[in-house]
Structure formats: C-alpha cells, structure tokens
Amino acid sequence: MNPPPTADAVTATAPAPVADGPSIDVAAERARTAGSALAHHFNAAGAALPTRGVVTAVVDHLRLEEQKGGYEAAAERRGRIDAVYASAAALVGAASTEIALFDSASTGLRILLDALRPTRGQRIVASSSTYVSHALHLMSLAREHDIDLVIAPYDEGRRVDVPALEAILADGVPSIVTVAHVPTSSGLVEPAAEIGEVVQRYGGTYILDATQSVGHLSVDVREIGCDMMVTTGRKFLRAPRGTGFAYVRDSLLERLLPIAPDVRGAQWTSSASWELDASARRYETWEGPVAARLGLGVALDETLARGIPESEAWLIDAGRRLRTALADIEGVTVADPADSRSAIVTFVIDGVGAADAVVELARRGVRVVSVPATHGQWDLGDRGVPSVVRASPHVYNDDTDVAALVDGVAAIATGITR
C-alpha cells in the first residue's frame, strides 16, 4: 500500500480513558507511545505506533553495531535473538522450532508456498479476502503450472462458506487452502478454526495469513488447525517494519523443502549435497535486520504481558463503537459485515473519494488510509467498491482520538470542507 499522507504534529491533548470498554490501561499505553501525542493515529492495520521500549531496543543495537560491527554485535546478542523465536511461539501456541523469521508476511507466504511445490493436478483454494501480493503469487503459479485456482464460495457476510468449501474438497483432489484471517479491505473475520477442521478432514494443506490478526485477536495454531501461518510485525504487534514470522507444523518440515536453501538454514556437506536445519529456520536467509528483530522481540513480549484476551476484547469493542459512531453520520456507509468482531473499520463517504477523505483527515491530524479495489479485487472489486477509508484503532487510542476521527468524517460528509 502506498503510504498515506501524514499530518504535521498536532497539539497534544490530555488523554481520556476510553469509556465502556474492556480493561486496558490506555493512559499507560499512551505514556509509552510517543506518537500518540502527535496525531490521532488510526492505522494499526497498516503500521501501528511502536512503544518507546521497541524503539530503544532497535536504536541500542544499532549503536552496538556502530561500536563493534554487525557480526560482532549479533554474536553478543545471540541469546536475545534466540528468545524472539520463543516469544513468537508462545504468542501463537507453537514450539520455537516451528518458527521462522522473515522481513514480511508476503515473503513468508511466497517462500512457504513455493516450498510446497504445487503442480498440475493439484488445486489451490483461496479466500476472497486474500491480499493482493499473495493473490498475484497464486495467480502466477496457477498460470505457469496449470494449477486449478478456485476462489472459495462465501456466505452472506462474505466469509468462507464452510459447507461449500467442504463440498469442493470432498472430490479428493489434492488441495492447498489459503485464507486471510482478517483482510486488508474490511473488518471481516474468517471462521479460521472451522476451515481448519474441514481441511484436515480431507487431507488438504492449510495456510493462514494472520497478518491482520496476530496481536489483534487470539491466534492459536493448534486450535485453528493450520499447517502454516504467517504474520507481520509492524501491524497490531507494534514492531518495526521489515519484521515478520511464520509457523510451520513440525510434521511438515521434512517434506516442505525450501526451493532456494541458504547458508542460514542449510549446511553444505560435500560437493553435491547439503543438510537442512531441523527447524523452521531452514526457510530463512543469513542476512536479516538484527536490530529490527530485537525490536520485534520486545513487541512480542509487551503483547504477551498486556494479555491477548484483554487486548482482543478491547480492540473488538473499539471497532464496534467506532462503527456505531460512523454509521450515525448522514452520508457515511460502513462497509464491514454487520457483525464484524475486529478493530478494522472501513467506510465510504457519499460523493467523496477515499483518497481525498484521507488527505482531509490528515489535515486535521487524523491518520487513516484508503484501500483501493486493486488491493482486493476478489473482495472490493467483486463488490463493485472502488475504494474504502480504513480506520484501525489500537490500545493507545482514547476518546479524544475517536472524537477527532468522527468529527472529521462528519465535517467531510456534510460538505464543510468541500
């Protein structure tokens, strides 16, 4: 996604606790989030504001590299780097040996899907909520390898229709099922565990894109039943850009071979042979952003300390309240399913392009983004929606932020700024 217009710093307002929501100490979250005093930031689904602890971890390691060199600094911090795998595993219910670190979810999806080596005679079933980068890869594989690519049927809420999916898989064709848990284009939440039960029953391989859900909703890979899961650090985890991780079920490791082994995950043992690492690190590359990954580790630990059940309840409630407030504005249509249980809120304003609304809200110190149909043709394109405005709160957003967003949208909708 192209970066949204940014606003100049606005005058900091004394934070007010978000009323009537589950227990999160919003004032404490704001106190450790420098950016919360500079603008009303509603872009957690793009890149959330990091905490001071995350930034300090990154900067401290860069200073260490400055003093000792990159390799030497990494060696000194090896224990902390290894701890990142354990924290990621704890967050999603995996073993640390099942975790691989990547620079993004898109990279992880590409590497793992390529490692599956889908061929003619197999089928890929993808949710209509699939993000553009992954969809482009799927379409390329289908075109180049003559693989059947099927868009999963959806129900009246545009979620994967699980009985219809079962009917597809029941024919016995070897299938890879890939689902975006929460899409970029709406507040929809897919029935991930129900999908997992069906895919397991028919012997398929299940990939979950949890880019918008880890750190936002409870994601337990054992309960969901996915074979692989990928996520990014920069969104609801509040980690630096250029970070992400994947889970690969340990029983898949021996048959899921990286298409391009790297010295990080393989050992060259003779002139014509090599041995892969026994863990999911076999999918990694040697070079990586060590400082950013240490920041990821801090972000993971902070998320665990805050509590996933508490964060999920607070974020779902924040999304609900924001949808209600926006729906009460004449000329504004909320574009999410009516019963959405997420903190991602999308809407359109009559007669105003989404990108124009983003610019005007940025002028008021409110940071949101526009999502065009080119980022979700199987969803927005299929609905005939050219673009939506997306607002995604996090635990550092208070009532002052919400009022600024709602007031700004109301002003645009009533033509005050036109």
CA 206 to CA 95: how far, in whole Å? 18
* DSSP summary character for residue 136: H
Q: In the predicted model, what is the mean pLDDT of residues 205-209?
A: 98
Domain boundaries, given as residue ranges, for the chain: 26-50+307-413, 55-305
CA 309 to CA 320: how far, in whole Å? 17
**Residue 342 pLDDT class (50, 70, 90 cuts):** very high
Model confidence pLDDT, tens digit, residues 172-190: 999 999 999 999 999 999 9
**How much is the pLDDT for 23?**
83
Judge residue 257's burial from the number of C-beta atoms within 10 Å of its C-beta, 0-12 exposed, 13-18 middle, 19 or more buried.
Answer: middle
CB 346 within 8 A of CB 388: yes
**How much is the pLDDT for 16?**
37
Q: Which of 127-131, 167-171, 196-200, 251-255 has the lowest mean pLDDT?
A: 251-255
Whether the pLDDT of residue 371 is over 90: the answer is yes
3-state secondary structure of 125: strand
Closest Cα to residue 216, out of 86, 34, 341, 72? 341
CB 34 within 8 A of CB 54: no
User: What value, to the nearest 5°, has the Cα angle with vertex 232 and ends 33 and 286?
Assistant: 110
- As its CATH architecture, domain 55-305 has 3-Layer(aba) Sandwich (3.40)
Q: In the predicted model, what is the mean pLDDT of residues 237-249?
A: 98
CA 384 to CA 381: how far, in whole Å? 5
> What is the DSSP track for 324-370?
HHHHTSTTEEE-S-TT--SS-EEEEETTB-HHHHHHHHHHTTEE-EE
* 36 HSE (CA, 13 A, CB side): 27
Q: In the predicted model, what is the mean pLDDT of residues 365-375?
A: 96
Model confidence pLDDT, tens digit, residues 34-70: 999 999 999 999 999 999 999 999 999 999 999 999 9
**Residue 7 pLDDT class (50, 70, 90 cuts):** very low
CA 395 to CA 59: how far, in whole Å? 24
**How much is the pLDDT for 417?**
55
Higher per-residue pLDDT: 315 or 418: 315
Percent of the chain with pLDDT over 90: 93
Judge residue 179's burial from the number of C-beta atoms within 10 Å of its C-beta, 0-12 exposed, 13-18 middle, 19 or more buried.
Answer: buried
CA 337 to CA 182: how far, in whole Å? 12
According to DSSP H, which parts of 146-211 are helical?
162-169, 192-201
**How much is the pLDDT for 20?**
46
Higher per-residue pLDDT: 18 or 217: 217
Q: In the predicted model, what is the mean pLDDT of residues 285-292?
A: 96
**How much is the pLDDT for 254?**
86
**How much is the pLDDT for 380?**
94
Model confidence pLDDT, tens digit, residues 69-118: 999 999 999 999 999 999 999 999 999 999 999 999 999 999 999 999 99
Q: In this structure, what token pair is assigned to residue 264?
A: 């990080």
CA 15 to CA 13: how far, in whole Å? 6
Residue type, 352: V
Closest Cα to residue 1, out of 309, 372, 364? 372
Model confidence pLDDT, tens digit, residues 192-203: 999 999 999 999
CB 95 within 8 A of CB 250: yes
Neighbours of 350 (CB within 10 A): 9
**How much is the pLDDT for 10?**
34
3-state secondary structure of 285: coil
Q: What is the mean pLDDT of the chain?
A: 93
CATH code, residues 26-50+307-413: 3.90.1150.10
The H or E element spanning position 230 is strand 228-232
Whether the pLDDT of residue 355 is over 70: the answer is yes
User: Cα separations (Å) of 397 from 19, 240, 266, 402?
Assistant: 11, 19, 44, 7
Model confidence pLDDT, tens digit, residues 116-154: 999 999 999 999 999 999 999 999 999 999 999 999 999
The H or E element spanning position 209 is strand 205-209
